[in-house]
Amino acid sequence: KQEVTQIPAALSVPEGENLVLNCSFTDSAIYNLQWFRQDPGKGLTSLLLIQSSQREQTSGRLNASLDKSSGRSTLYIAASQPGDSATYLCAVWNSGYALNFGKGTSLLVTP
């Protein structure tokens, strides 16, 4: 069974810093990998989807990379802002029909 791990579990940074969130998975036979953001008490917002044939995707200040062979993905956030404070979740699609999630990284960006 696919296991998805996110490190660190929590992170606090001052505003303006660049930061990296990590995601690792045990089964490299993935179809896609998706990064989400979740604000407290809310649903998940899709940030980026990386197809298995891609190495990275970018959206604004966010850049996600994928290395299937090593079972790793990173989410890079440039010039962090207090509004980036949220929980970030990594999830992978395998040959089944549902996403397998990590437990998330809780990010706090302080002014």
Partner 1 sequence: DVKVTQSSRYLVKRTGEKVFLECVQDMDHENMFWYRQDPGLGLRLIYFSYDVKMKEKGDIPEGYSVSREKKERFSLILESASTNQTSMYLCASSANSWGRNTEAFFGQGTRLTVV
40 belongs to the binding site for partner 1 (CB under 8 A): no
Distances (CA, A) of 111 to 12, 59, 72: 11, 23, 30
43 near partner 1, rule: CB under 8 A: yes
Q: What is the spatial distance between Cα 61 and Cα 58, in angstroms, rounded to a whole number?
A: 8
CA distance 21 to 45: 17
> Which region among 14-22, 61-69, 75-83, 85-93 touches partner 1 (by CB under 8 A)?
85-93
Tell me: does residue 88 bind partner 1 (CB under 8 A).
no
Stretch of 20-28, 58-66, 76-84, 90-98 contacting partner 1, by CB under 8 A? 90-98
Minimum separation from the CB atom of position 98 to partner 1 (A): 5
Task: Tokens 């604000």: give the residue.
Answer: 39
Which span sits near partner 1 by CB under 8 A: 14-22, 26-34, 62-70, 78-86?
A: 26-34
Tokens for 10?
Answer: 């929590």
